[in-house]
Structure 1
Amino acid sequence: MNGALYCPYCYHRFTARQIMFRCTGRPGPTGRRCESRTDPLLAAHTGDTAPRPPAFEADGRKGSARCECQVETTVRICPFCHSQLPTHFGAADSRLIALVGAKESGKTVFMTVLLHELRNRLGESFGLAVMGADDYTRNQFPADYEDRLYTERQLHESTRTAAGTREGRRPLVFSMTLNRRRAFNRSTIDRSLFSFFDTAGEDLRSADSVERNARYLAAADGIILLLDPLQMRGARPLAEPGTPLPEPGGARDDPAGVLSRVTDLLHDAGRTRRGGRIRKPIAVVFSKLDALDGTLPEDSALLRDSPRDAVYDEADGRAVHEEIRALLDKWQGGGMDLLLEQNFERHRLFGVSALGSNPVRDENDVQRVSEYGVLPRRIQDPFLWLLSEFGTISRRDSPRRAAPDNTAAKRRL
C-alpha cells in the first residue's frame, strides 16, 4: 500500500501508515478486557452510537496490531471517521465514484437500478461478482433500496440534504471482483471497491453548499453527473403526454448551471493549472429519456439496448455521445458540450432510462413503478465507460453493427 488513500466512507485522504485499529473486545492473556463505549468520531460521521471497543494508533501498513490489553486485532479503521475499512482496502483498487446531480434528476432510482443490474444480469454477463463491502450496505441496500423499488414498486423519497440531516448520509460501499484472463491462459482476480454517495440536488444549488457537502467529489476517481433534460426549456415541451414534469427550479437547478458549479469545484480541488483541464473522467448522464422517446428517430442508438458483450463498446458509446450532443441544441443546452470539451480531458455524454416508462401515482398520491415494471435502458453505460477508463474492463474500438431494438417505441403503440 503506497501513496495516498481515500476513505470510502468520509472521503478524507491519508497514508497507509495512518490507518488505525480497533480492539476486538475479547479478553487478553491476563484476563483484561477493553471496555466498549460509543465512539464519538464514528457517531459524528455516521450516527452510529453502538458501544464499540476502543480505537488505537499503530502502523497501518501492517495487517494486524496489538492493543494495550495485549489482544491482537485485524480490524482496521479510518483515522478520520473511525469507520471499519473493507477487506482488501489499500491492496485492492479503491475506485471512488461520485454520483451527483440536480434536484429531481432521479439519482436514487438510477443508483438502485444500476446496482441491481450489476448484482444480477450485468454481473453475470461480465463475470463480475458485486457484494456489499460492509454490514450497513449489505443490510440497507436490499431493504431500503431494492425491495422498495422492485417488490413494493414504490419510488424513493427525495434525498435529504446533508445540511438538513442530524448526521451525515452514509455511502453504499461495494466490493467488486472480476476474473480476468491473462497471458498463457492464466487468470487473476481483480478486486475493486466502489463507493456510491447519493447527494441531494439541493446540495448543488449554490457554491457554498457545494463546498460544504461535496468533499467526496475531490476524492473521486470518476464522476457520474445525472441531469434531468425535463429541466431544460427546450426539452419540456417535447415530453410525452402525461409525463410528470419537475417543478421549474430556475437557474439554480438548470443542468448547465449544475455542470458549471461541479466543474468549478473540481478545478479548485485539483488545483488545475491555468489553461489546464480536469484529468478525472466525468460521465454526464441525461435521465428519464423514455419521456422523450417520441422525438427520437426509429434507428436511434438511444432506443436500443446496450451491447451485452463483456467489453465496453466504444463505437456504440460514441454513437450515443454524438446523438446526445445533437439533442443538446434542441434542448437549448448547446453550450454544455463546449464547457465539457474545454474543461475535461475525458468526458462522455449518455442518455438513460432507469424505469423504462413514466411512474404513476396511486390513490394516496405515492409515485409507483408503472404496470410494465422496471425495464431499464442503457443504465449501465456510464458505469462501464468509467470501468474502461480505469482499465478494469476491456474496450472494443472496432466499429460494430447492431440492429436497433426499438422496444420503447413498440411499447408506445
Structure 2
Amino acid sequence: MTSVVCPYCFDRSPAAKLPYRCQMSPTGVRGGKPCTAELDTVWAEFIGPAVPPALKMRGPVFEAARGLGGRIPRQLPLGGGGSRAECPDCGVSTPVRVCRRCHSDFPSDYCDQDTRIIALLGPKGSGKSTYVSVLVNELRGRVGRAYGASLTPMGGETQRRDREMAEDLYDRLRLPEATRPAALGFNDPLLYRLSLPLRRRLRGDGSRHTALVFFDAAGEDLGSAEAMDRYTHYLAAADGIILLVDPLQMRAVRDRLPEDSELPLPVVETPPQQIAGDLAAQLRARGRGSSRGRVTTPVAVAVTKTDSLSALVDPHSPLLRNADHSAGAVDEEDRLAVHEEMRALLDGWDSGALLRQLERDFAQLSLFGLSALGSPPPAHAPADAPKSGPQPLRVEDPLLWLLGLGGLLPQASGAARAGGRGTGGPGAGGRAGVEGEA
C-alpha cells in the first residue's frame, strides 16, 4: 500500500487511509447548505498558540465513507490526478487530503508523487534562508536548464513565501529574515514539485515528478541537544541533511583573515561540532544508526560564504567556479575535488577536529563549499544583498549530490570509480560509507 509522509509533522500514513477536509463549498442544490467551519483542535495544538482563534475554525475533517467490502466509493485512485470524496454532511466532493496526526492540509497533488525530504541545519547567521532563496532560483534557471528540470511551488503558503523571497532578494536586494525560533510558532516547510525528464532506459518522453520538502530549523533551536529534540521526528524522516557551516564563526578562520579585511564578522554562535554531535545523537536515538554506530542518513556538509575565503585558497581552486552541468549529470570527479579541497581547509583550521567527528558519526558524508551571494553584503548595510545582486557559487552542489544518491539524477561517467574505497575518506564517495558499514 502506498504511504505518504506528512511534510509538516512527518508522520507516515497509508495513502488510502488519509482523511479529507470539506471545502465548505455551495452544494449547487436548491435548499442545500454548505458546511460551517468548526474548531480544529488537532491542527491548532500542532501549530501552537500564535495562531489567531479565528484561523482555528476550519472545514470539517472526515473519513471517506466505505461501501460493501470496505470499498471507498466516489474516490479516484492516487496517481490518477488525485482522489476526491464526498462530505457526509453537505454531499460536496473535496480533493483536500489531511494528515491523520496533525490535520495539516496537503497540496492538491502532493499525494500523487514520490517525496524527498531535505533538512537544512546551521547556526544562527549561517545564511540558511538566503541559501534556500538562491538555491530555488538556480534550480529554476541555470541548473534547471542543464538537467531539463522544472521547479514549481506547491500549496498556497509556499507560493506566497516563494514570491516574497524572490521579490526581496532579487528585486529589492534585501536579505531574507532569519528563521523564527520554534518557541515563536511553527515554521512551515517549503514544498516544491521537481519535474525531471524520464531517462531513456525508462522509455518514453514523459516526466518524473518528485515533491521536495525543505525544512529549515532556526539556529537558536540548535544550541543544545534538548532544544534539538523537538526536531528529531523531522530529522529522522529526512532523506538527506544539508548542514551549513559558517567559516566566519570559526575563530581559526578569523585569525587567518588579512588584517585589512573589512568583512562584517557575525556573532559566534553554536559551534559546528556541537550541532553535528547533537544531530548524530538524536538520529541514533530515532533508529537511524547502523550496527557500528554511524548514522545512515546522508549528510552534505556545506561551508558557506566561500567568497570571503579567497585570500585563504589557491586562485585555481574549484571553490572559485561553478561546476559544469552541461552533461546533465552529477560530476563525481568535480565533487571529489571540492571534497578534498574542503578537507584540506578544515584540517588547517582546527587540525581536522570537525572532520574527524563527522567521519566517525556519519556513514555517507560529503564536504562542499559554496557562496549564495558571491560577495559579502555591504559593510554599511549588512541586511542588504550586494548591489550586483546574488552571484552564487556552487549552491546547488549539496542538493544535487543528495538527489543523485536517491537515484533521481544520473551520475557522470566514472562515478562508480570515484565512489570506491580510499577516495576522499570514509563516506566521501557515497557508496564507500555504506560499504564500510557492512
Contact 1:154 1:366 in 2 (8 A): no
Aligned partner of 1:128 in structure 2 is 149
Q: CA deviation at 1:126?
A: 1.3
| 3-state SS in 2 of match to 1:355 | coil
Contact 2:284 2:293 in 1 (8 A): no
Give the superposed CA RMSD. 2.3
Give the unaligned 5+ runs of structure 2.
65-71, 416-438
Contact 1:314 1:398 in 2 (8 A): yes
| 3-state SS in 2 of match to 1:319 | helix
Question: Please, which of 386, 407, 412 is the counterpart of residue 396 of structure 1?
Answer: 412
Question: Please, which of 158, 162, 170 is the counterpart of residue 137 of structure 1?
Answer: 158
Aligned partner of 2:84 in structure 1 is 64
State the percentage of identical aligned residues. 38
2: CA distance between counterparts of 1:188 and 1:341? 40
Aligned partner of 2:100 in structure 1 is 79
Alignment-mate amino acid for residue 74 of structure 1: P
Question: Please, which of 188, 202, 206 is the counterpart of residue 170 of structure 1?
Answer: 188
Aligned partner of 2:58 in structure 1 is 52
Deviates most, 83-92 or 204-213: 83-92
Give the unaligned 5+ runs of structure 1.
400-413
Structure 2 length normalisation: TM-score?
0.83
Q: CA deviation at 1:333?
A: 5.4
Question: Please, which of 227, 251, 262 is the counterpart of residue 242 of structure 1?
Answer: 262
Contact 1:132 1:175 in 2 (8 A): yes
Correspondences of 1:306-385 after superposition (within 5 Å): 306-309=323-326, 310-332=328-350, 334-362=352-380, 367-385=383-401
Deviates most, 228-237 or 55-64: 55-64
Question: Please, which of 266, 269, 273 is the counterpart of residue 283 of structure 2?
Answer: 266
Aligned partner of 1:207 in structure 2 is 225
Alignment-mate amino acid for residue 217 of structure 1: L
Deviates most, 385-394 or 182-191: 182-191
Aligned partner of 1:229 in structure 2 is 247
Q: CA deviation at 1:20?
A: 1.0
Aligned partner of 1:404 in structure 2 is none
Is 1:154 the counterpart of 2:174 in the alignment?
yes
| 3-state SS in 2 of match to 1:306 | coil
Aligned partner of 1:304 in structure 2 is 321
Q: CA deviation at 1:158?
A: 2.5
2: CA distance between counterparts of 1:283 and 1:201? 17
Question: What does the per-residue CA deviation read over 1:118-172, in whole Å, with 9 as the maximum and x for residues that have no partner?
Answer: 12222222111111110111112211x1211111111223222112x1x211111
2: CA distance between counterparts of 1:67 and 1:185? 40
Is 1:89 the counterpart of 2:110 in the alignment?
yes
Alignment-mate amino acid for residue 55 of structure 1: V
2: CA distance between counterparts of 1:147 and 1:122? 20
| 3-state SS in 1 of match to 2:110 | coil
Aligned partner of 1:403 in structure 2 is none
2: CA distance between counterparts of 1:370 and 1:245? 16
Alignment-mate amino acid for residue 262 of structure 2: G
Structure ranking higher in strand proportion? 1
Q: CA deviation at 1:275?
A: 1.8
Structure 1 length normalisation: TM-score?
0.88
Alignment-mate amino acid for residue 103 of structure 1: K
2: CA distance between counterparts of 1:160 and 1:115? 20
2: CA distance between counterparts of 1:107 and 1:101? 7
Contact 1:235 1:330 in 2 (8 A): no
Q: How many residues align?
A: 391
Deviates most, 153-162 or 282-291: 153-162
| 3-state SS in 1 of match to 2:338 | helix
Deviates most, 104-113 or 77-86: 77-86
